[in-house]
Amino acid sequence: MKNITIEFPGVKALDEVSFSTETGTTHALIGANGAGKSTLMKVLSGAYNHYTGDIFLDGEQIVIRSPKDAQKHGIQIVYQEVDTALIPYLTVGENILLNETVNDMGRKQIVNWKEIHRKATEVLDSMNVNVSSKRLVSELTLAEKQMVLIARAILKECKFLILDEPTAPLSHSETNELFRIVRSLKEKNVGIIFISHRLPELFDICDDITVMRNGQFVVKEKIAETSTNRVIERMLGQKLEDQFPKHNVEIGETILEVNNLHDTEKIKNVSMHVKAGEVIGIAGLVGAGKTELCKALFGASKKTSGEIVLKGKTVKVNNPHQAVKQGIALVPEERRKEGILVTEPVFSNLSAANLKQFASVFSFLNNKAEKAKAREMIGSLGIKTPSEETRVQNLSGGNQQKVAIGKWLLADADVYIFDEPTKGVDVGAKKDIFELISKLAQRGKAIIYASCELSEIIGITDRVYVVYDGEITKEFVTPSTDEEELLFYSTGGK
């Protein structure tokens, strides 16, 4: 790709970007949120036709102005938003062969279901993926859905496969499974272009790396000849300072106290507390029950017994509405599903938690005051958006996360619960999020920070509870522990 430039109203998303890669290699594409990675790959896969610049394949200029053009040249993409690319009420097989069946029907051929499942099973088998072709896509996990999309992509001749942040929502074992597939595709001489924010994994599976910043190409290097710190500095365009803000906050009264909490699913006998100005960590591996605990505290799941005491008073938190009224805010893990309304503009998302009618219809909210507040928040959080009217779905992952957080800052709660807030977020935005949390603590808020990133728990919290299989198995004052010890207890050590 040579000198690719593309503009959207108010943003020059790509500015004369050049990019090159080869079949049989895995190429990492990295950059802060909003750097233009997704846009560049959308150009390559034919999602846009209003760009300028040239694309060459094997030295010959080719025209890519539609997904069909890209596919004709063997270029396939698996988008960041897995769900939008699949039809939930069709089977795995039908989804894999979707384009085929549609074409066939266009030509008025009879759809041969047996053949569809046979072909789909063949591709899934070739990937060593154990998902039945006859299952409904709606029943699949996110990781399985991704496999279906990859199967669809490699069904036809596939020279280049683009994976846009595929590992962001995956657990460790799911990530390893994906890497296995990436490696085997590479062996079959497919060129993989891999967008991710997790540097260690890029260094693990990639051969080359291209760094982008602010819609521009920064550098292309061999993975073997660079380092994570070097890449991060190139990404940020500045020297790497300490990621975690130093905060020395005076810790106040106990704000939230939880006694012997049980839920119907996972949580067993949890007792914990958090004080004003304190950041406490909920450390645990994926599946330990961190999300369930956060939900229980926010009234988003059913509790069977236990007591929640807020500022000395026993309170009922049986649903999110009561939680919000009482001053408890949750920035949920699955922010795309629960935290924000992606089809609504930025400003109405920011004011959502402020409303008396939590989670109701926001359409009436078109007044100047709301927008002015939203603009203030966009500025102070550094949300990268053309305007407060832009729909949240057009923002990058880290900026969506900032919107999810910003909405609660406007609401001004006493207790802030963050569930994996840095998942799928780049280093630059991570730093912003840590700073935000530190500022909240300075304002005397009580913070609960749930994460499986133990380095973050160590970096940002004052005290940690380790969760294993739905129970708190250990408590530490953060300075007296380290990642290794947290990992020991997180994996069930005693």
Residues forming the site for Mg ion (CB under 5 A): 38, 396
Nearer to ligand ADP, 26 or 38 (CB): 38
Instruction: Report, in Å, the least distance between residue 78 CB and ligand ADP.
Output: 14
Instruction: Report, in Å, the least distance between residue 38 CB and ligand ADP.
Output: 3
Nearer to Mg ion, 196 or 291 (CB): 196
Work out what residue 46 binds among Mg ion, ligand ADP, none; the CB cut-off runs from 5 to 8 Å by kind: none
Instruction: Report, in Å, the least distance between residue 399 CB and ligand ADP.
Output: 7
Nearer to ligand ADP, 29 or 270 (CB): 29
Work out what residue 95 binds among Mg ion, ligand ADP, none; the CB cut-off runs from 5 to 8 Å by kind: none
Work out what residue 33 binds among Mg ion, ligand ADP, none; the CB cut-off runs from 5 to 8 Å by kind: ligand ADP
Instruction: Report, in Å, the least distance between residue 33 CB and ligand ADP.
Output: 4
Nearer to Mg ion, 165 or 456 (CB): 165
Instruction: Report, in Å, the least distance between residue 335 CB and Mg ion.
Output: 15
Work out what residue 384 binds among ligand ADP, Mg ion, none; the CB cut-off runs from 5 to 8 Å by kind: ligand ADP
Work out what residue 31 binds among Mg ion, ligand ADP, none; the CB cut-off runs from 5 to 8 Å by kind: ligand ADP
Nearer to ligand ADP, 33 or 45 (CB): 33
Please give, one letter per residue, the 3-state secondary structure of the chain: CEEEEEEECCEEEEEEECCCCCCCCEEEEECCCCCCHHHHHHHHCCCCCCCEEEEEECCEEECCCCHHHHHHCCEEEECCCCHHHCCCCCEHHHHHCHHHHHHHHHCCCCCCHHHHHHHHHHHHHHCCCCCCCCCEHHHCCHHHHHHHHHHHHHHCCCCEEEEECCCCCCCHHHHHHHHHHHHHHHHCCCEEEEECCCHHHHHHHCCEEEEEECCEEEEEEEHHHCCHHHHHHHHHCCCCCCCCCCCCCCCCCEEEEEEEEEECCCCCCEEEEEECCCEEEEECCCCCCHHHHHHHHCCCCCEEEEEEEECCEEECCCCHHHHHHHCEEEECCCHHHHHCCCCCEHHHHHHHHHCCCCCCCCCCCCCHHHHHHHHHHHHHHCCCCCCCCCEHHHCCHHHHHHHHHHHHHHHCCCEEEEECCCCCCCHHHHHHHHHHHHHHHHCCCEEEEEECCHHHHHHHCCEEEEEECCEEEEEEEHHHCCHHHHHHHHCCCC
Binding site for ligand ADP (CB under 6 A): 8, 11, 13, 31, 33-39, 384, 386, 394-396
Instruction: Report, in Å, the least distance between residue 107 CB and Mg ion.
Output: 36
Nearer to ligand ADP, 31 or 169 (CB): 31
Residue nearest Mg ion, CB atom distance: 38
